Chains A and B, each alone.
Chain A
């Protein structure tokens, strides 16, 4: 624990980061920048888990473990997403979301 810093300070930072990620997810058009926004969102949730673990249940390891698993899943998600983006680029010569409407009804 840090003197003078409560659990709410961590939540404030993580929430701001989360909604900046949501903003980027909606506004951005390039698929890679959208992926970056998703990484911001996942990372902010990790900060929350860690802060709750440290401040509210310091004798347990649950938030810590969930953060570890979220980091692993985020890495797997990024790898698959980038494979899909490279394939889209090869087929459509662009990775803006306007190009990717082949499956739209």
Chain B
């Protein structure tokens, strides 16, 4: 049953990723991106990573997609169609992507993945929270603080860049 759900989610991801990069209506491309992100959250749920799936749902499919949709509405007409891409360029790029895909998959299937064979650890939110704020081994307090500064800088920068100045 879980296997079937995985295949459905994988198919959704692949199908809607392709539609995201080929759709000529930009608002539809944003909605297809939303489906891809939702299916990814489904994969996290399937792996029992509930907190990560919740973060994916709120930050990615909630925040980023809404941001993109607003940007689309502010910069394009709603029935505006993108120009069709040059066929030769599209074919060449697709060839390049397929070659890269083949190389990576060849390397992946030739490699024997072996885990450390340990039992699964605890994944309650308490363990994640204490891991985020501890500074011992497997503690993540430094990246946590760095990303807080980064988010503050990004927020101030976004406001400063998007602000309308008088002499424009």
Contacts and interface: CB of A to CB of B under 8 A. Distances in A.
Interface of A: 1-13, 15-17, 19-24, 26-30, 32-33, 35-37, 39-40, 43, 46-47, 50-51, 54-62, 64-65, 67-69, 71-80, 82-87, 89-91, 95
**Chain A at the B interface: mostly helix, strand, loop or mixed?**
helix
Which 7 pairs show the lowest CB-CB distances between chains A and B? A24-B21, A76-B154, A59-B118, A56-B115, A83-B162, A83-B158, A83-B161
Given A12-B105, A84-B161, A36 B113 contact: no
Interface residues of B, number: 82
A102 B130 CA distance: 49
B85 A43 contact: no
B40 A46 contact: yes
Contact of B59 (A9, A71, A89, A90): A71
Contacts of A8: 108-109, 113
A61 B114 CA distance: 17
Contacts of A80: 154, 157-158, 161
Given A8-B113, A50-B52, 14 more contacts: A2-B6, A16-B101, A19-B98, A19-B104, A32-B68, A36-B20, A39-B33, A39-B64, A40-B33, A46-B40, A61-B121, A68-B52, A72-B59, A83-B159
Contacts, number: 224
26 contacts: A12-B105, A13-B13, A13-B14, A20-B20, A24-B21, A32-B26, A32-B75, A36-B20, A39-B37, A40-B21, A43-B36, A43-B60, A50-B49, A50-B52, A56-B115, A59-B120, A62-B138, A65-B140, A69-B143, A69-B147, A76-B150, A77-B154, A83-B161, A87-B162, A95-B75, A95-B76
